[in-house]
Structure 1
Amino acid sequence: MRLVVVGNGMAGARLVGEVRSRSRDVRITVFGAEARQPYNRVLLSNVLAGTSTPDQARLVDPAWYGEHDVTARLGVRVTAIDRDRKTVLASDGTREPYDVLVLATGSEPVVPSIPGAGRALPFRTLDDCDRIRKAATSARGVAVVGGGLLGIEAARGLAGRGVPVTLLHLGDHLMERQLDVEAGLVLRQTLGALGVRVRTGVTVSAVHERRVDLSTGESMDADLVVLACGVRPVVGLARDAGLEVDRGVVVDDELRTDDPAIFAIGECAQHAGMVYGLVSPAWEQAAVAADVVTGADRAARYRGSRMVTRLKARSVELAAMGETHLTDEQAEIVSFSHRRNGTYRKLVIRDGRLVGAILLGETPAVGTLTRLFDRGGPLPADRAGLLFPGVLADVAVAQSPVRMPDSAQVCHCNNVTKGQIRACWEAGARDLPAVTAATAATTGCGGCRDAVEGIVGWLSEQEGVSA
């Protein structure tokens, strides 16, 4: 079977790996518009801040393609799909036949229609990071437009380089889709302490060479303007091919489009009316599509994802999940706020189940609450114990590799348990890179890195081997 994958980002690269892990008989060709190896976009803010290198963000070793008999056409864009002949036309003039085609074209930055927008730089790719870093070296002031996840990550990354940054956001508070008003205020104060000036209820109306005009009628000095105004699915290829497109490429529970030979996954796909802009749903979709395409599990179906938004900018820890905007009249709300300390914790409970949560600031309860949210399990009567997990036995256990059960989930992005880490360690993966290669742990948000290193170190100590 000839499988062609259009898109070599986090969704497309994951699909290729999932397919190859299930079958060696599939002939795989993947096209990537970027000439780079696939990389982890979640770590872009760290690259921007200089705390991670581009190589540390890389998802696939260059030798992997040859070792796994995968043809990677990097820096080659697919320009058209010929559904009648089952071929794709590439930007270099070549044609590639397929039996199954998977679209993983991702999304593109939204650029506002304002005068001078061409002077601003988007924040979406590693190449964008390179351009922003170079421009920031001589900038006396930076304006970041957009107070969502990407905007906050960009602002924090630039502030980490010592550049004066002002974050401009049209909404009344930061990340208003995921956070309530109090959480937005705590996050704003946390960013302020890290060197990011935040202005809400305002946006840019024009970009000039050394300043921006604001919607309030003011002007603000800015040598560099970074756009993080959101993204939109890349659907032009699918639309031109006559596939059903709404906000994204419309797919069913098998991730098939209305052409049974063509699938779509990741940020370009729309399932049951939802377009997911996060990594975890894309990887869940990749696993289902790989099962269906290879026949490894013909009954596999995608039923949607329970989204957990994670912000992992340096010195800013945030997780938001589910229905965070319900009121006391609609649900049981348990919350704690300490603005000076940058801490805000909120649980939204309905019918004895956790249906939403906001966790801002360091808290060891993230893993426990994420599992309760994902699985919909009953909550303990002591709600305060969920907010302050030092009294929770299961969280105390999770803090020690010795006492952590093998069933405990260590990497939530990739559903990797302590038992799986132990198993691959016993099979010969004796350091963090080897464990990462075997399980994909740490390749999502990166928040589990210390825990995985701790488990590997503890296992090595048990045999008297130095980690």
Structure 2
Amino acid sequence: MSSITRVVIVGGGMAGARLAQQLGTAGNTVITVLAEEPHAPYNRVLLADVLAGRYPADVIALPRPAAGVTWRGGVRVARIDRAARQVECEDGSVTPYDVLVLATGSSPVLPPLRALIGGLPDGVHAFRTLDDCLALGEAVGEGTRAVVIGGGLLGVSAARALASRGAGVVVTQQGEYLMDRHLDAGAGQLLHSHLAASGVEVHTECRVRGLRTEDGRVRGVELADGYELAADLVVLACGVRPRTGLAREAGLALGKRGGIAVDDRLRTSDPDVYAIGDCAEHDGVLYGLAGAAQEQADALAGMINGMLNGQDDAAGYAGTRSLVRLTLSDGPLDLAAFGETTPAPGDDVVQLADATRGAYRKIVVRGDRLLGGILVGDLGSVGTLARTWEGDEPLPATPLLHLLTHDGGY
């Protein structure tokens, strides 16, 4: 497909920016990025550090794409016309394409609360974009009463950042323990204890019924048991869902989990349209993690560059083995989770817990392969274990207990 000249990327987040950077050196392409956010591309993973005041916003900027890339910030795409092979924007501009890449990311999930119908009241914030982060930074101060709805990775990160700014923070988590998507009960309880020691109040198995507002501003969070949490500030951290509106309206197929369905070439149901990042569903998996977005961008760049050079032998995308890691600097606490952490019959499990030192380690092994692990506390061994798992390498012939030493048994 050496005649391809126009590559249009919809989305300027981590996936879109990475792809533009990797494609920027292709000599016979015209690359255009249509980015809804007005900012330069940035590392979304570090937003909590910006909120905590550890970094200024400009520090988390990603490398700018090559000079040959046209970056149009603050532009919202309204429609994809597949028949005419062009993208129509809300500002009336039209951008034709030969290859279209959707990197539209994901949107925060808003809980079904009456007070949220028609928009967010004053004092209620999502925490997904740099603008969200900057708005929260302006709203929080010493003594601010903040309630974080959601105790997943994002909610925990936001809670610690707000607490470090002097806010009184309460986290409400509907599940049995914090970060229940990634941790088990033992690790979740250790994280709970760490947050409590840092001054963050945590309510698990707690469902929010509504928000109390006065004159359009939030004043409290009403729980299902009738109790009310006073609030000057509410952060919605209830998860995310893939942004697929453009794809759906253009008639592209969606996957079983609601993402844009892609194959091992990251193609959608239209062979000229691709999808990467949080919006893409590959082999039934929605990753929602920065590592997967970057791997998909790199894989697609290799395939597009190969096609431009008259070659089609670049390796496809076979999925990502992603590790979730959270470092809470004020404490400190470090945790990592990867792979399958719930054992099946016949699997070996090694588990160590030291409440005094705030440490918890668990790995699941099947045969000579590491299936997954949860590590909390001193993570000297996480690098070796993660590399072994990511590479699906045989484990060393040492007792399994040695895998949880600092050198990972090597």
Please confirm whether the aligned pair reaches a TM-score higher than 0.5, indicating the same fold: yes
Post-superposition shift, 1:203?
Answer: 2.5
1:170 maps to which residue? 174
CA distance in 1, matches of 2:327, 2:6: 38
Aligned AA (1:92):
D
Q: 1:263 aligns with which of 274, 277, 282?
A: 274
The CA deviation at 1:24 is 2.7
Counterpart amino acid of 1:274?
V
User: SS at 1:311's partner residue?
Assistant: strand
Q: 1:28-67 to 2 correspondence within 5 Å?
A: 28-61=31-64, 64-65=65-66
**Residue in 1 that maps onto 2:348:** 332
Residue 336 of structure 2 is aligned to residue 319 of structure 1: yes
Deviations 1:284-337 (A, max 9, x none): 11111111212166232111111211113323311100111226x441111111
Partner of 1:371: 387
Gaps (5+ residues) in structure 2?
A: 213-217
2:241 counterpart of 1:232:
yes
Say whether residues 1:293 and 2:310 are aligned partners: no
Q: CA deviation at 1:189?
A: 0.8
Deviation at 1:390, TM superposition (A): 5.5
CA distance in 2, matches of 1:312, 1:78: 36
Other structure's SS at 2:356 match? helix
Unmatched segments (≥5 aa) in structure 1: 395-467
Q: Which amino acid aligns with 1:13?
A: A
Q: Which region of structure 1 is more displaced relative to structure 2, 189-198 or 137-146?
A: 137-146
Structure 2 residue corresponding to 1:358, chosen from 360, 363, 374: 374
SS in 1 for 2:20: helix
Paired residue type of 1:298:
D
- Contact persistence 1:254–1:301 (CA under 8 A): yes
Q: Tell me the number of residue pairs that the alignment of Structure 1 and Structure 2 aligns.
A: 387
Partners of 1:148 and 1:391 in 2: how far apart?
A: 28
Q: Match of 1:340, SS?
A: coil
Tell me the equivalent position of 1:428. none
Distance 2:403 2:76 in 1: 48
Identity of aligned residues (%): 46
* 1: CA distance, partners of 2:53 / 2:355: 28
Higher relative contact order (CA 8 A, sep 6+): 2
Farther-moved stretch of structure 1 (23-32 vs 265-274):
23-32
Aligned mates of 1:309, 1:59 — CA distance in 2: 20
Determine the C-alpha separation between the residues in 2 that align with 1:371 and 1:189: 29
Q: Is the 8 A contact 2:110 2:236 kept in 1?
A: yes
Q: Does 1:249 align with 2:260?
A: yes
Aligned 1:43-442 pairs, distance under 5 A: 43-61=46-64, 64-65=65-66, 68-117=67-116, 118-119=120-121, 120-137=124-141, 140-208=144-212, 209-246=218-255, 247-295=258-306, 298-299=312-313, 300-314=315-329, 315-326=332-343, 329-380=345-396, 381-389=398-406, 392=409
Task: Give distance in 2, aligned partners of 1:94 and 1:391.
Answer: 55
State whether residues 307 and 321 of structure 1, in contact with CA within 8 Å, keep that contact through their aligned partners in structure 2: yes
Is the partner of 1:184 in helix, strand or coil?
helix
Please state whether the residue corresponding to 1:211 is helix, strand or coil. Answer: strand
Q: CA 1:344–1:93 in structure 2 vs 1: closer, same or farther (change >3 Å)?
A: same
Q: Distance in 2 between matches of 1:84 and 1:229?
A: 37
CA contact (8 A) 1:145 1:203 kept: no
Instruction: Give the superposition deviation at 1:369.
Output: 0.3
Give, in angstroms, the shift of residue 139 of structure 1. Answer: 5.5
Whole-angstrom CA distance in 2 between matches of 1:99 and 1:256:
14
Q: CA RMSD in A?
A: 1.5
Deviation per CA, 1:404-438: give whole Å up to 9, x if none.
xxxxxxxxxxxxxxxxxxxxxxxxxxxxxxxxxxx
**How far is the alpha carbon of 1:115 from its aligned partner?**
2.3
State the distance in 2 between where 1:85 and 1:260 align: 15
TM-score of the pair, normalised by structure 2: 0.91
**Whole-Å separation in 1 of the counterparts to 2:7 and 2:401:** 51
Deviation of 1:258 after TM superposition, in Å, equals: 0.9
Matched letter for residue 31 of structure 1: L
AA of the residue aligned to 1:47: V
